[in-house]
Amino acid sequence: MISIHEFKQKKERKEKISIVTCYDYTTAKIVDKSSVDCVLVGDSGTMTMYGCESTIQATMEMMVLLTSAVAKGTTKFIIGDMPFLSCRKGLTETMNNVHSIMKAGANAVKLEGLKGNEEIIKYITDSGIPVMGHIGLTPQAINMIGGYKVQGKLHSEAERLKNEAIELEKLGCFSIVLECMPVELAREISNSLAIPAIGIGAGPFTDGQVIVIHDMLGLEHEKKAKFVRKYMDGYNSILDSLNLYHSDVVSDKYPAQEESYFWRSE
Ligand code: KIV
């Protein structure tokens, strides 16, 4: 497992960090055998696993279940996402929620946004729990942002994001996700930090990348975001397999003799 120190060391050595999301035991076992550095149990799991419309519907119960399933399948460093408003209802409730994600098997937690989270991020890191920040497109704030769109295109927005990244580092974050922002801005932010900036839709000059596993495996058939690279056509592979299975069943090709049990002669 990559240790918390290795995130910074990798940045110092200019070695990129690869992170994938993961939400279940079986996939976690495969990720475990891969060379991917680290796993994020993202609140995107509410959409990919529970079919919710957005991450606003994420609950602590969902995130704890997903995190514990992943933790059973991998020994990689696991970052557990804190769901919508789970850190905004007072210190005690926040810490109980962080505790639940850590007990489920996370090695760190991720919190979206800076404004209003300053005190809590400091408290969590002072409690010995690594925190990953997340700025740019923060889907939990979608109603405020007004759509899934690139952030920091305007000079004023870009300045705000640069300052937020520096503030998050000062508060003790070990890493920051930069989601959907112009390449030049992501590059400037990454260069201004000692901790690694991990991009998603933020171009090639960040210190690493994170991607939703369903997107990279091509499991989502709908139009993909520009930044997504499909490493396989999972949707059609699964669909073809299901259709082949169906036709084998209806044409008596499945199960075959070697796939069947027989009485033993006495
Ligand atoms: O929930 C998630 O998958 C995320 C990544 C997109 C960074 O937060």
- Tell me, yes or no, whether 187 lies in a domain: yes
Provide CB contacts within 8 A for 10, sequence distance 6+: 2, 16, 17, 37, 196, 207, 208
| Ligand 1 atom, smallest distance to 212 CA | 3
- Tell me, yes or no, whether 67 lies in a domain: yes
Say how far residue 142 (Cα) sits from the centre of its chain.
17
Interior/surface letters 110-121, b for 16+ CB within 10 angstroms, e for the rest: bbbbbeebeebb
Q: What is the CATH number of the domain that holds 142?
A: 3.20.20.60
Q: For residue 188, what pLDDT is reported?
A: 98
pLDDT-flagged residues of the chain (< 70): none
Angle between helices 183-192 and 155-170 (to 10 degrees): 30
- Domain count for the chain, please give it: 1
Please give the distance, rounded to the nearest whole angstrom, from the Cα atom of residue 202 to the centre of ligand 1.
Answer: 13
- Tell me, yes or no, whether 249 lies in a domain: no
| Ligand 1 atom, smallest distance to 112 CA | 8
How many Cβ atoms are within 10 Å of 261's Cβ, its own excluded? Answer: 6
- Tell me, yes or no, whether 240 lies in a domain: no
- Tell me, yes or no, whether 266 lies in a domain: no
Q: For residue 162, what pLDDT is reported?
A: 98
Angle between helices 91-103 and 60-73 (to 10 degrees): 30
Which candidate in 112, 164, 169, 179 is catalytic? 179
Provide CB contacts within 8 A for 122, sequence distance 6+: 171, 172
- Tell me, yes or no, whether 261 lies in a domain: no
**Nearest residue CA, atom 4 of ligand 1?**
42
Please give the distance, rounded to the nearest whole angstrom, from the Cα atom of residue 42 to the centre of ligand 1.
Answer: 5
Q: For residue 224, what pLDDT is reported?
A: 82
Are 23 and 41 in contact by the 8 Å Cβ rule? The answer is yes
**Nearest residue CA, atom 2 of ligand 1?**
42
Backbone φ and ψ of 169, nearest 5°: -65, -45
- Tell me, yes or no, whether 35 lies in a domain: yes
- Domain extent, residue 160, equals 4-233
pTM of the model: 0.96
How far is Cα 261 from Cα 258, in angstroms, rounded to an integer? 8
Q: For residue 223, what pLDDT is reported?
A: 79
Please give the distance, rounded to the nearest whole angstrom, from the Cα atom of residue 156 to the centre of ligand 1.
Answer: 25
Q: Is 179 a catalytic residue?
A: yes
How many Cβ atoms are within 10 Å of 29's Cβ, its own excluded? Answer: 14
- Tell me, yes or no, whether 18 lies in a domain: yes
